[in-house]
Amino acid sequence: MPRSSMPRRTARTFFRMLHRRLGDEAFFALIRSFIHHHAGRVVTGQEFIDFADAFVREAGAAGAAGVHEPAGLRAFFLLAPSP
């Protein structure tokens, strides 16, 4: 596999795993919110991790449907495949 395709493959796998973990409703709410809050900016992976973790904690605390991650996503991000 060409080296240039590895980051895309890793990102695709990461987002597929996150989608499965959160389910449709919570995953797409996270993505919409992230895009809304970071429109027009270049962001790092760490910024996404911090945002996603806080989003899921707040959504879970608010009792949002489909969000069952009261401890946030830190454990998921530690287990996600590294580039």
Considering its fold, how many domains does the chain have in total? Answer: 1
User: Angle, to 10 degrees, between the axis of helix 6-22 and the axis of helix 24-38?
Assistant: 120
Q: Is 71 helix (H, G, I), strand (E, B) or coil?
A: coil
- Percent pLDDT > 70 in the chain is 67
| Cβ burial 27-41 (10 Å sphere, 16+ → b, else e) | bebbbeebeeeeeee
Each residue's pLDDT tens digit, 24-61: 888 999 999 999 999 999 999 889 988 988 888 887 65
Compute CA 20 distance to the chain's CA centroid, rounded to the nearest angstrom. 11
Look up the domain containing 61 and give its range. 3-79
Q: Are 37 and 45 in contact (CB under 8 A)?
A: no
Indicate whether this model's pTM tops 0.85: no
Task: Retrieve residue 5's tokens.
Answer: 């395709």
